[in-house]
Structure 1
Amino acid sequence: MTINYTHCIRCGRHLTSTKSQANGYGPTCARKIRTATVDTADYKTHQVTSARELIEDGAIVPLRSTVFLAISTDGTETYRSAPTGCTCPAGRKGERCYHQLAARMLLAA
């Protein structure tokens, strides 16, 4: 299932290009997210990659100021995620997950 967004997930501006509508971010917001500086020292390489993919796929969207809704890798579940916690299985155990990292990246942009 492909979602076409009409407004940027980050700033809310109207998206006009087909590529932006597919990604969920306008070119300026996409650039800010790609270049955002976030400390990834506590995360494994695959978690950093997964967090970037989550953002690129538009599979994490803001609910409130620091809370996001993230879709699982297989697309069957959704999790509430914030920079400090997540409702995914790893997050419920108190471990750092890539959903938290994606939330940090979006907030740093």
Structure 2
Amino acid sequence: MNAAATTTHTNCLRCGRTLHTAKSQAAGYGPTCARHIRNATVNLTDYKPHQITSARELITDAAIIPLRSVIFITVSTDGTETYKTAPTGCTCPAGLKGTRCYHQLAARLLLAA
């Protein structure tokens, strides 16, 4: 993710409520939704440690945005491409090969929250 690019969000990316503090606006999530996401439990046995780290970073950077009920728009690691992601599939190169990617894990974590 590109740390130099900052985006201010006016609404929570999880629940849609208005964000009031600068910290919440920078994160893209209110304090309650951020806590729910941190505490979400998902079966991580099929994922490698670097995928788990990347999925949490994707959420922290607010680089996963809900499009429909279970479909998200996610940003690539270098920030140059976007993918449509669901808990069961993704349009990234790994997802197109049929393997599980960290984008899918991030979607699962957000839906479990």
Q: Whole-Å Cα distance in 2 between the matches of residues 9 and 102 of structure 1?
A: 13
**Residues 60-75 of structure 1 aligned to structure 2 (within 5 Å):** 60-75=64-79
- Unmatched 5+ residue regions in structure 1? none
Structure 2: runs of 5+ lacking an equivalent: none
Identical counterparts, % of pairs: 72
Please point out which of 8, 11, 17 is paired with 1:4. 8
TM superposition shift of 1:2: 1.1
The structure 1 residue matched to 2:49, chosen from 34, 45, 52, is: 45
How far residue 4 of structure 1 moved from its aligned partner, in angstroms, is: 0.2
Partner Cα separation in structure 1 for residue 14 and residue 88 of structure 2: 19
Query: How many residues align structurally?
Result: 109
Task: Please state how far the C-alpha of 1:100 moved relative to its aligned partner.
Answer: 0.1
Please state how far the C-alpha of 1:35 moved relative to its aligned partner. 0.2
Instruction: Give the ranges of 4+ consecutive aligned residues of structure 1 lying more than 3 Å apart after TM superposition.
Output: none
Q: CA RMSD in A?
A: 0.4
Q: Letter of the 2:104 partner, please give it.
A: Q
CA distance in 1, matches of 2:67, 2:17: 16
User: Superposition pairs for residues 1-109 of structure 1, below 5 Å?
Assistant: 1-109=5-113
Q: 1:46 aligns to what SS in structure 2?
A: helix
TM-score of the aligned structures, taking structure 2 as reference length:
0.96
Task: Return the offset for 1:24.
Answer: 0.2
The whole-number CA distance in structure 1 between the counterparts of 2:43 and 2:6 is 31
